Amino acid sequence: MEKKYRSDAAHIFNPIPENEKETLQSCNALFKTGMYPIITDGCFHVGMAGGCGPDCYVYRDGECGEPEGILNDCETEEEIERHKRLYGNK
């Protein structure tokens, strides 16, 4: 089932993007509100939707700009080891 990204006042309830395609859909919807510029950065869209954390696709792809903030949310040994593999000691 494809997610729907709203461009009206209910855009604050848009789902968390889980990949680049959904990030582009989120980008287009937010731009159409007239309140946001074109920002295709996955981190921005995941963060706007409240999805920062160990399950974020940007983080899992090793592209997080603030990985030390995510480390605090890692609860299992597996998550901590994945963090070390992706980001070293950051």
Domain boundaries, the chain: 15-87
Our CA angle for 52, 1, 74, nearest 5°, is: 20
DSSP letters spanning 1-35 = -------SGGGGGPPPP-SHHHHHHHHHHHHHTTS
Nearest to 51 by CA among 10, 11, 3, 18: 18
Question: What global pTM score does this model have?
Answer: 0.85
pLDDT tens digit sequence for 56-78: 999 999 999 999 999 999 999 99
The reported pLDDT for the residue numbered 90 is: 67
pLDDT tens digit sequence for 36-52: 998 889 999 999 999 99
**C-alpha distances in angstroms, 61 versus 47, 54, 70?**
15, 11, 13
